[in-house]
Structure formats: structure tokens, C-alpha cells
Amino acid sequence: MVNYPHKKKATLTSEKNISFGKRGMSFEDDLTKSNEHYLAANKAVIHKKPTPVQIVKVHYPKRAAAVITEAYFRTPSTTDFNGIFKGRYIDFEAKETSNATIFPLQNLHEHQVNHMIEVKKHGGITFLLVKFSKFNEIYLLPCENLAKFWQEYKLGNRRSIRREEFAQYGTKIPEGAFPRIDYLKVVEELFL
């Protein structure tokens, strides 16, 4: 059981007991494998950031098999990945959507977008990666474009970013073998 900072327990409201907890994990796994490839090739050092959690209760059924039974998120996490590439700090959020035509902006949190804006302000490279799973398309959207869409969202003028807008304001990342998602090629073209 993981609880949120305001001490309310996370519960499912659906009668079907559907879990969305692992949504996007294969995308993140592919990014992690790509980052391992970059590290092995001495190209970059980029890692997934762990979510800060405060462990409250642990059950010890056996001495070597501890099970966390209750925990709280200490603070809201910022973005998913960070590191260094060609001497520049890099920081980005990765999201996956099963929607064929749009990426809902409610899938982002305000503190994440604010963090990205601050990173950009201080000279870091920051962006949003979105995978449209129905088309197996991945787009890199630079922070400055995301910030414009987010401002419209905050004003109530928009609820999502259309797939066509990712194609217009972002860059499509082709999938390959090694690395699976070569996003640093696009980062190099756009930012360096």
C-alpha cells in the first residue's frame, strides 16, 4: 500500500479493479536500456530518478524476505530521467498514451512542468518524450513548446496536445535496435 503525502490511501474506484500503475513501463524500460547503451558506449550518463518514498511499515515473513506493507510519497517527484550529455545537464519526462490522436495534458503535473522550465532557465536541456502506443511513434517536444501548451492548459484554452502538433512542434524519434530509442541523436540535432 502506497499513500500520498496528504496521508490519504490510494484506492481504486472502479468495480473492475483495473490498475494503471504500470502504464508506460515498457516505454520507460526501453529508455532505461537505451541509457545503458549510451553509458556502455561512453556517450552519456543518464538514469531514471527514483521516486522518494518514506517507508512506514515492513513485514518480515522470513529474515531475508522483507515486504514493505505501507509507504508514503515524501515529496512529489520531478521528472523521470536526468544526467549529463556532452557536458550539458539533461532532464526529461517520459509519457506513453494509448490515445491515437491526443496526449492529455492532465497526464503531467504542474510541478513537473515548472521544474522543466527552471532547468531550461539555468541552461539545461529539457524536454518531454511521448509515445503514442497505437502507432508506435515517439516524439520529443522541447520544453519551450511544452510550456506554451501548458500555459494554454492553465488558462482553460486547451486540454491536450494533438499528435499532429507533436509532429509540427516536436521531432519524431525512430526506434532501432542499439539503442532502441536513440533520443540523444535528436537532442544533439536540436540543442547542441
How many CB atoms lie under 10 A from the CB of residue 64? 6
* Nearest by Cα to 45 from 87, 95, 80: 87
> Does the annotation list 93 as a binding residue?
yes
CB 163, CB 102: distance < 8 Å: yes
DSSP state of 96: E
CB 22, CB 35: distance < 8 Å: no
Who's near 145: CB < 8 A, 6+ residues apart? 169, 170
Who's near 55: CB < 8 A, 6+ residues apart? 68, 70, 71
Q: For residues 20 and 32, give the distance between their C-alpha atoms in angstroms, rounded to a whole number.
A: 20
Q: For residues 24 and 97, give the distance between their C-alpha atoms in angstroms, rounded to a whole number.
A: 8
Which helix (H) or strand (E) is 134 found in, with range? none
> Does the annotation list 164 as a binding residue?
no
> Does the annotation list 112 as a binding residue?
yes
> Does the annotation list 30 as a binding residue?
no
Could you list the residues known to form a binding site for Mg(2+), using ranges: 78, 80, 93, 112
Could you list the residues known to form a binding site, using ranges: 78, 80, 93, 112
